[in-house]
């Protein structure tokens, strides 16, 4: 649980550093352009949205996490969002590291 909170804190830092992209269309565009390290999709968002990002991230070899719900993601960045992409390698690598432990 502690690591999940650290990831959410990092997400807030990445937001302030302008190293994230939010919203389904913008995130999809960034994934296609391969400018994304990790994509967070809310575990409670629409099934077709989850499937779309799952497929897209797999085909572009981008890490995908559904470890958080929409409320947790929204609180972390201070705006209501269910899809967030981290565009900075350093932030992304650290978040993945925390989620895998």
Q: What's the predicted TM-score (pTM) here? A: 0.94
86 has a pLDDT exceeding 90: yes
User: What secondary structure does DSSP assign to 16-63, as a single string?
Assistant: HTT-EEESHHHHHHHHHTT--SEEEE-TTS-HHHHHHHHHHHHHTT-E
Domain that holds residue 59: 2-100
Question: What is the domain count for the chain?
Answer: 1
CATH number of the domain enclosing 88 = 3.30.1330.30
pLDDT tens digit sequence for 2-46? 999 999 999 999 999 999 999 999 999 999 999 999 999 999 999
């Amino acid at each position: 649980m502690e690591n999940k909170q650290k990831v959410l804190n990092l997400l807030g830092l990445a937001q302030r550093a302008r190293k994230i992209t939010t919203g389904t269309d913008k995130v999809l565009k960034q994934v296609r352009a391969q400018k994304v390290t990790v994509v967070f999709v809310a575990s409670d968002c629409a099934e077709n949205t989850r499937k779309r990002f799952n497929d897209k991230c797999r085909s572009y070899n981008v890490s995908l996490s559904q470890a958080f719900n929409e409320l947790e993601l929204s609180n972390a960045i201070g705006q209501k969002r269910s899809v967030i992409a981290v565009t900075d390698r350093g932030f992304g690598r650290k978040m993945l590291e925390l989620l895998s432990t």
